[in-house]
Structure 1
């Protein structure tokens, strides 16, 4: 019996570009804008333009959305700091290496859920600044990757004042800790009596903490730029809103990081101060651009100037961490973590930075009159109250 050879088969031809509708095309361009792969001016124009929405989008378009998210976020997190050979705490012990060396694959795999697609659908179908469709989603329904996506989306759109006013009222922004860490000055409601910061506990746990490890360099660069730009602010109210938002964000975050024993996640605060306070500075560095005499009440003017120094005021907290670390013994549970913090402190010249921060803050304190309900000069909370700007 002879065996007949099978006829040769041609290799499958590569698939051509997927066909998408106009709506899907705009949706994909908006997504690329949100993940920084499309010009910002064109992306914002699409967000401000409505496109007739279909009942649903094709499976091919959904696959393109998934592919874009997967590749864009891996690239962003790698560039933001994931590629760096750093040490971070894992179960209380320092673990070194790049993020893919330190963290098992199943713990760093990003998972996006339905709210992301619903949000893109809403952005494409509506004129966001004029939309009557009250889209939003509960933070509990979001994965860590979702939260970071909404934070980057907010960051991309906040340069448009009309869109910013809409987005900051959404729970995906107002209750998103990543949004506040990236841009507290825009996440805060400028008309609120005090900043309503979210709970920062989740970002010190699980995959959110891994994301925050990758963001340390990005956060440092952002906060340094913001500090150096303060001298150009001319509006007293804007300065006070921004300073109060920064203080509430950093103080709330540092309290959570300390409770979670993840002081390594606060490196960006230490490094920001180290880069800004490379020399002795006076409050004019932060407030020199304020025009006019400011608010009528002297107390309000002083509080605005004090708010401008929100970042150097955090050094008092970091200094207490350093003092505590000095007394941790070799056989104590926190010995390895304390040694890593002391190394970070030394690398940043922490003692010198803390002294410079204290000097700058104290230049305002002698002028400070008794303000009812205000925090004392050492940053301690008033009797029976919370620290200024901290979560209730």
Structure 2
């Protein structure tokens, strides 16, 4: 376009479609949260039989640009090394990841969700949104971003957390595992898909965000006063981390568990290991059995419990010989483990966990 050419005219949309686009931009973090939540929690007129081509175009444009921008800012811009085809590869995500693994494809359930969210009050219409059965990687990330924005409203969170688009979403579980434990033992989703293709590229970008959020979460855990809340929180986090690390090990992608190691390292920095750092404020609704209280406190130490797995990966990496096929990949984990002072974190984790064993105290 030259300076002499007129600018294209804005695409016109209906009032409902304008609200839908505002809701979408709110979910992508591009609109004030108060305004976005007001639209979501307000009952609208029935949606039109179908959305106009202009609206669909603008939804596609906002999704494509908004999600890419989020991933870029989250960590895709960083010049870091990850394993690509089994070899350590440096650079920003668009330099190291093949184009096929960077393509984002959104499917119909996203548009259906946006229409439902704009038309209905989610706290009163929990059964009017069709089930999501086969989400694409981009769908899963979008639903995780949407949940991040919407979970602050308890009534909306209670509706969303029972739907498979969120309850079975591995990206949601990586950040809010306790939200999706309704009763009984936690049942994390299958994390294996996160270690291949587009999902793996996304997870590379998300490492700094996951690290930051879990550092904050671990440092705030001592504020939990209710034993029952800690039971649900700790059990969910332990189940999530154990399942996630097992999937990372099976896929030979320890680099995608970088956030676990970095979280442990940051939590211990400048700290004297003590179980009370996590559980010192528990005073409300204590279980009568000592064994139950010990189990809850152990689960509260979800990240320290993973230190032995990370240390074992380091021992295996150090046993790989120079002429072995896995040598280059093993060096990447060794470098990461040393940079995070993993040996010190493992020793401190062991001392903290030993405090829960009466035979070792």
Bin of the TM-score, shorter chain as denominator length: over 0.9
- Secondary structure of 1:366's counterpart equals coil
1:63-114 Cα deviation digits (max 9, x unpaired): 1111111111111111110011111111111111100110122321211111
TM, length-normalised to structure 2: 0.95
- Secondary structure of 2:81's counterpart equals strand
* 1:332 equivalent in alignment to 2:320: no
Q: Which residue of 1 aligns with 2:48?
A: 54
- Secondary structure of 1:268's counterpart equals helix
CA distance in 1 between partners of 2:214 and 2:284 (Å): 26
CA distance in 2 between partners of 1:130 and 1:178 (Å): 26
* 1:224 equivalent in alignment to 2:226: no
1:298 to 290, 296, 301: 290
Give the deviation of 1:287 after TM superposition: 1.0
Q: Which residue of 2 aligns with 1:167?
A: 160
CA gap of 1:132–1:294, structure 2 versus 1, over 3 A, is: closer
CA distance in 2 between partners of 1:357 and 1:332 (Å): 31
CA gap of 1:326–1:60, structure 2 versus 1, over 3 A, is: same
CA gap of 1:176–1:360, structure 2 versus 1, over 3 A, is: same
Kept in 2: contact 1:167–1:173 (CA 8 A) = yes
Give the deviation of 1:11 after TM superposition: 5.8
- Secondary structure of 1:19's counterpart equals coil
CA gap of 1:351–1:103, structure 2 versus 1, over 3 A, is: same
CA distance in 2 between partners of 1:63 and 1:145 (Å): 17
Query: Structure 2: any 5+ residue segments left out of the alignment?
Result: none
Q: Which residue of 1 aligns with 2:91?
A: 97
Query: Structure 1: any 5+ residue segments left out of the alignment?
Result: 1-9, 369-392
Q: Which residue of 1 aligns with 2:12?
A: 19
Higher Cα radius of gyration: 1
CA gap of 1:121–1:342, structure 2 versus 1, over 3 A, is: same
* 1:72 equivalent in alignment to 2:66: yes
TM, length-normalised to structure 1: 0.88
1:277-317 Cα deviation digits (max 9, x unpaired): 11322111111222246122222222221111111111111
1:357 to 349, 355, 360: 349
Kept in 1: contact 2:28–2:67 (CA 8 A) = yes
Q: Is 204-213 or 104-113 further displaced after alignment?
A: 104-113
2:258 to 247, 258, 267: 267
Aligned length in residues: 356
CA distance in 1 between partners of 2:359 and 2:23 (Å): 50
Q: Which residue of 2 aligns with 1:235?
A: 226
CA distance in 2 between partners of 1:333 and 1:241 (Å): 42
Kept in 2: contact 1:138–1:172 (CA 8 A) = yes
